[in-house]
Chain A
Amino acid sequence: MMPAQDLFTVAAVSLGALFFLAGTLGLLRFPDTLTRLHALTKADNLGLGLVVLGLLPQVSSPLGWIGLIAVWLLALLAGATVGQLLAGALSPPEGTPARRGDPPA
């Protein structure tokens, strides 16, 4: 295995793991549900994408590449769909404060 490939893998997987950490911190620290959803979907999809990108040079068979990329594409599709569904279900009705933590006007 070539060192350049290994270097790429280490860099991309490390960056992906960092995004997972960022998503977890956002989930724990952000003030309300919609911002937490934002942190989670962004960081998750980018983190998983970087992990998949980093793993590609380590897999030798084309079928393995297709499998890895298929997992990421399905995760992207699912994340986008679920994000829209949840945000639509959670958005407050008209006339209420914009954020859940705000005191009622």
Chain B
Amino acid sequence: MTEFLLAAAAFVLATVALGLVRILRGPSDADRLLAAQLLGTGGVAALLLLGVATAEAAVADLALVLTLLAAFASVGFVTGLARPDAAASRADAAARADPDRPGEAGRGSE
């Protein structure tokens, strides 16, 4: 049974890896997000299979956290999508207000 569960986990991971081709092809950012979503759910399924195969109960908690983070990633994407002007102007304002801040732009020069 352990061998079967490990093989099933490998199969699910392989299909998810195949789905990542959608990230390369796009065409829109939403399509790429869908592939990331598939990676989240497929990763959860593979984690559960591995956890039962190795009799490691804590892996179910990891799967729970991964589910939560995948959902938050999508909610963050939709929030930015619904208000693109607000997100863009916020980023511009932050860059103009504090150009020397050791953040996005300043980090590369060090």
Q: How many residues of chain B are within 8 Å of chain A by beta carbon? A: 42
| A27-B48 contact, Cβ under 8 Å, with A13-B4, A67-B64, A71-B60 | no
Q: Which residues of B contact A1 (CB under 8 A)?
A: 1
Contact A13 B18 (CB under 8 A): no
* Main SS class of interface, A: helix
- Bitwise, B39-69 to A at CB < 8 A (1) or not (0) is 0011011001100100001001101100110
Q: For B52, give its contact among A33, A45, A48, A55 (CB under 8 Å).
A: A55
**Size bin of chain A's contact surface:** 35 or more
Interface residues of B (CB under 8 A from A): 1, 4-5, 8, 11-12, 15-16, 18-19, 21-22, 28, 30-31, 33-35, 37-38, 41-42, 44-45, 48-49, 52, 57, 60-61, 63-64, 67-68, 70-71, 74-75, 77-78, 81-82
* Interface CB pairs A-B, < 8 A, 6: A23-B19, A28-B19, A28-B21, A52-B48, A59-B52, A79-B41
Please name the residue on chain B nearest to A39 by beta carbon. Answer: B34
Which of the listed residues B38, B70, B74 has the most CB atoms from chain A within 10 Å of its own CB? B38
Asked if A4 is an interface residue, CB under 8 A from chain B, the answer is no
| A17-B48 contact, Cβ under 8 Å, with A28-B22, A85-B75, A85-B78 | no
